[in-house]
Amino acid sequence: MEPAVRDAGVEGERTSRAPGKRSWDEPLSWLVVGRTPLASHLLLSPASLWVLVLLVSPVTLLTLLSFAKIGAYGRILWSFSLANFGQIMRPAYLWVIGRTLVYAGATALICLLLGFPAAYYVAFAADSKRKHLLLFALMLPFWTSALVAIYCWLIVLGREGLINALMLRLGILSTPFSFLNTPFSVILGLVYFYLPYMVLPLYAALEKIPRTLIEASHDLGAGGLKTFLRVILPLSWPGVASGAILIFVPCLGDFLTAEFLGGPRTYLLGNLIDNQFLAAQNWPLGAALTVLLMGMLMSGLYFYGRVEVEETSRV
Give me the residues that bind another protein (CB under 8 A), please.
210, 212-213, 215-223, 226, 230-231, 234-235, 314
In contact, 76 and 70? CB cutoff 8 Å: yes
- Smallest distance, another protein to C-beta of residue 217, A: 8
Measured distance CA(263)–CA(157) in Å, rounded: 14
- Smallest distance, another protein to C-beta of residue 306, A: 18
Q: Which is nearer to another protein, 90 or 314 (CB)?
A: 314
Q: Which is nearer to another protein, 229 or 298 (CB)?
A: 229
- Smallest distance, another protein to C-beta of residue 134, A: 24
Q: Which of 220, 245, 242 is nearest to 231 (CA)?
A: 220
Q: Which is nearer to another protein, 3 or 171 (CB)?
A: 3
In contact, 272 and 258? CB cutoff 8 Å: no
- Smallest distance, another protein to C-beta of residue 111, A: 24
Q: Which is nearer to another protein, 21 or 314 (CB)?
A: 314
Residue 176's CB is within 10 A of a number of other CB atoms, namely 15
Q: Rounded to a whole number, what is the largest CA-CA distance in the chain?
A: 91
Q: Which of 239, 146, 155, 158 is nearest to 193 (CA)?
A: 146
Angle at 53 between CA 49 and CA 58, to 5 degrees: 150
- C-alpha distances (whole Å) from 152 to each of 161, 191, 256 are 10, 15, 14
- Smallest distance, another protein to C-beta of residue 219, A: 5
Q: Which is nearer to another protein, 308 or 311 (CB)?
A: 311
